[in-house]
Amino acid sequence: MEEQQKLANSKEVLAFLAAEYPKCFSLDADAKPLKIGIFHDLALRLEGDPRVSKRLLRMSLRHYTSSWKYLASIKEGVHRVDLDGKNGDLVEGEHAEHAAQQLQESKAKAAEKRQEQKKQANDKKSYKNRAKIPGKGAAGDKKPSDKRSKPAPAKVKVRELNDDDLKVGVQVSVKVGSTPMAATITDIAKDGIQVQLNSGMTVKVQRAQLRLTV
């Protein structure tokens, strides 16, 4: 009997799940909300299968359920499905709201990353163009350069938020992704704090992501 090859990464595991349980998992068509406890069901079905480890299976499910397509499928009142595609419990409003928040935050991070990559590409292009202009850093340029350094921009000072600081209209620094961004608190709720970035985009974040601008 031919030995079955062990799956090496999440991409291979998800392709395997979509092939084995096409009424539950989908990589191309719209996703369906999964039954709560689907990992336990999968672990039982795949028990003894040497191709998939529980660690990689759990990691792959986390990757699948954090995708934009899956988060967009979590709508209140929609049936969750089991491995065979049978309808189960309905998605609760709390779960739908949490998925919508995750989707919004994920898209905000992706937009910020694209903006940063675009800025870096433009900076690199601008540097190359300046290098070609005589007197602007071109190779072999004999003109003395102006060594006077420009003053560094003032560094924004921040500190941790106190309870008294949590007010609508307060100026804060919010970390969405890798770069802190200036923002204003627009709403405070139990499940998070809504802020408006200088770009006009509104996102909901947790208190730990905020610092007060002083």
Give the burial class of 104: count Cβ atoms within 10 A of its Cβ; 0-12 exposed, 13-18 middle, 19 or more buried. Answer: middle
Structure tokens of 75?
């709508």
Can you give the C-alpha Rg of the chain in angstroms? 25
Paired strand residues for 1: none
Spatial distance between the Cα atoms of 134 and 140, rounded to a whole number of angstroms: 9
User: How many CB atoms are closer than 10 A to CB 33?
Assistant: 22
Q: What is the CATH number of domain 98-138+156-213?
A: 2.30.30.140
List the chain pLDDT tens, one digit each, 214 residues. Answer: 345 788 999 999 999 999 999 999 999 888 999 999 999 999 999 998 889 999 999 999 999 999 999 999 999 999 999 999 999 999 999 999 999 999 999 999 999 999 999 889 888 887 777 766 665 554 545 555 555 656 655 566 777 777 777 787 878 887 766 678 888 888 887 778 887 877 777 878 787 777 877 6
Span 10-91 CATH architecture? Orthogonal Bundle (1.10)
Q: What is the pLDDT of residues 113-167, one digit of tens each?
A: 999 998 898 888 877 777 666 655 545 455 555 556 566 555 667 777 777 777 8
Measured between alpha carbons, how far is 80 from 21 in angstroms, rounded to an integer? 14
Kindly list the domain boundaries of the chain, sorted by start residue.
Answer: 10-91, 98-138+156-213
Which residues have C-beta within 8 Å of that of residue 131, sequence separation ≥ 6?
137, 138, 139
pTM: 0.53
